[in-house]
Structure 1
Amino acid sequence: MVVRPASLAMIFLVALSWLSSVTHSAADEPAADATPQSSIRHSFFVAGPDFTGIIGEDGSKEWDSGRGGARDGWVLPTGNVLIAWSDVVKEFTPGKTVVWEYKLDPTNKEIGTVQRLKSGMTLVTELGSNPRLMEIDSDGKIQVEFPLQPETDNAHMQTRMARKLDNGNYLVPHLLAFKVKEYTPEGKVVKEFATDAEDLGGREAKNWPFTAIRLENGNTLICLTNGNKVIEVDAEGNVVWKVSNEDLPGNPIDDACGGQRLPNGNTVITAYHAKKGVKLMEVTPEKELVWTYEGPNRVHHFQILTTNGLPLIGDPLK
């Protein structure tokens, strides 16, 4: 089922009002979830098991979708919010009007991820007996579709954060295959990045790739969920940067599902399994922990929106 977008003018007016509230910062008082030595404050979107919405720089809930358990999501340039749950994808205005919707095909079991593309199409992956990647237009018609190759029948573990690349291909993590695969629009695999190398601990380390991000330098950032580490690999798959609990005080990485590379070069990482303590952390290239979120909301995936009152510039690398 698809609902057509409302008028752009109306969305824009609502978005302006909402963005004004989201980008306000608690400039005169430090955020409770920042590390003591840090003056960094972030607002961010959360796709989490208990809460899916926007957390302000002061740690308060700025916007609530009304439903937890989300897999993936984005705050769009219009101010609308695009969210994927296991059974449905919805695009909301800031006022919570649903303006676009896609429901899981009954032949499959789960929706894995979502991404709004520059073309206006929406990328969606489905998991199950027919694992597939699709591009869907505003009328709900599938314009691109090809089968994925997850190397397992375990639907829940077939794939997660698929993303379209600037070259027109798609980057897709396959957890139990221990591989990130790059597909063409015809579904041909043209590149693979393995995550079960012995120097990463082999398969026993459970380095299941969950999020894969193609960086501007051509490298690929990969979050390894149960492996509790994040790696950056070059075009040949060689590890050129890695951060794990061996590098950070207090072992804060606890199920590194989601990740985002910020414009300043720092990397934000989830601790999805954590029910107390650190849920999100920001790490410098030198592996210094400079910001944490320790609020009550668990984080499956996320999008950093502002830093100290200023919106992030450019397309979010998440």
Structure 2
Amino acid sequence: MPRALAVLLAAVAAHATAADPPRHTFLATGAETFIADDTGKASWTYPHSSRDGWVLPNGNVLLALSKSKSYPGGAVVEVDRAGKVLFEFKGSQSEVNTVQPLKDGRVLLTEAGPKPRVLEVTRDGKVVADVPLQAQTGDLHMQSRMTRKLAGGTYLVPQLLDRVVREYDAAGKVVWEAKTPHMPFTAIRLPDGNTLVGCTHGNLVVEFDRAGKEVWRLTNDDLPGRPLDDCCGVERLANGNTVVTSYHAGPGKVRLVEVTRDKKVVWTYTDARRSGIHTFQILGPDGRPGATALR
């Protein structure tokens, strides 16, 4: 092959590779719990509705399970890829809506109920932290969602009907809050101190600075086809892009969308499932977690 032609073909190939859209493997929670590979095919399923979840470094899956006959107050379980339950903690109130693995081996969860709270439990089921939340109790289902423990030891809590994201210390004192334009579902503390929030039926995502001032907003007016439909789960990727789930999107509609900071769509996921994606975790190509996203 002539050198000039070889150089041209290499350049074309490099350009095509650079132009290829991203492809993601991810864990999805909701009425259907599954892991999808980067072609969108389910590589793993779990036969229980879930609210929140994480693939752990060892490949096991940590899930907050919806309330059911087996779990009337909801539950947290860790299961292996064969579906064997390795850890279980049953909720004692109305619902368990959050789960987070902590570095010390503990598990964080929230309980919705007459006494809304954040719990930290050990792997032998001992409660080692019990943090009361200042939330409305008229609608237990709409108290809080994706609570996260932050590096400094505080807890970031989206409170739906209260329309506020609050940061609590270990004693349950509010140390920071931001009022939201609609019901907050996900709240993520970013490395620069800002907080990214998905606002459910408002069909929008907002970012606040430490003073509670809105500094970025994503709505359907920014996106072709108006794909946002109940913005529950949100992630900020390491490259600065934001991925959002549309929980109420129907079969064949956009379930997940990835946008750049300037709101350009670079990836979407659709499927024919009847139910939507509640929350999600973007994974590495091998189906294991990586340092690719903040959630």
| Smaller-chain TM-score bracket | 0.7 to 0.9
| Matched residue, 1:182 | 167
- The one-letter amino acid paired with 1:294 is T
- The one-letter amino acid paired with 1:135 is E
Choose from 228, 242, 245 the match for 2:217.
242
Check conservation: 2:167, 2:175, Cα contact below 8 A. yes
SS for the counterpart of 1:265 is coil
| Matched residue, 1:284 | 260
* Distance (whole Å) between structure 1 residues aligned to residue 51 and residue 277 of structure 2: 10
Deviation at 1:41, TM superposition (A): 1.0
**1:160 and 2:145 correspond:** yes
Deviation at 1:209, TM superposition (A): 0.4
| Matched residue, 2:246 | 271
SS for the counterpart of 1:246 is helix
Deviation at 1:147, TM superposition (A): 1.3
| Matched residue, 1:127 | 112
| Matched residue, 1:113 | 98
* Distance (whole Å) between structure 1 residues aligned to residue 22 and residue 133 of structure 2: 40
With normalisation by structure 2, the TM-score equals 0.87
Deviation at 1:312, TM superposition (A): 6.1
- The one-letter amino acid paired with 1:154 is D
Choose from 188, 192, 196 the match for 1:221.
196
CA RMSD between the two structures: 1.5
| Matched residue, 1:91 | 78
- Aligned pairs (5 A) from 1:1-318: 39-49=21-31, 51-67=32-48, 69-86=49-66, 87-105=74-92, 108-196=93-181, 207-276=182-251, 277-297=253-273, 298-306=276-284, 313-314=290-291, 316-318=293-295
- The one-letter amino acid paired with 2:46 is S
- How high is the sequence identity, in percent, across the aligned residues? 48
Provide Cα deviations, 1:119-167, integer angstroms capped at 9, x if missing partner.
1110010001111110000110100002111134200000000000001
**Which protein has greater RCO, CA pairs closer than 8 Å, 6+ apart?**
1
- Structure 2 residues without counterparts, runs of 5 or longer: 1-18, 67-73
Moved segments of 4+, more than 3 Å: 309-313
- Count residues in correspondence: 267
* Distance (whole Å) between structure 1 residues aligned to residue 210 and residue 221 of structure 2: 26
SS for the counterpart of 1:53 is strand
- Structure 1 residues without counterparts, runs of 5 or longer: 1-36, 197-206
Check conservation: 2:56, 2:288, Cα contact below 8 A. no
Check conservation: 2:132, 2:171, Cα contact below 8 A. no
* Distance (whole Å) between structure 2 residues aligned to residue 99 and residue 83 of structure 1: 12
SS for the counterpart of 1:133 is strand
SS for the counterpart of 1:227 is coil
With normalisation by structure 1, the TM-score equals 0.81
Check conservation: 2:26, 2:287, Cα contact below 8 A. no
- The one-letter amino acid paired with 2:105 is G
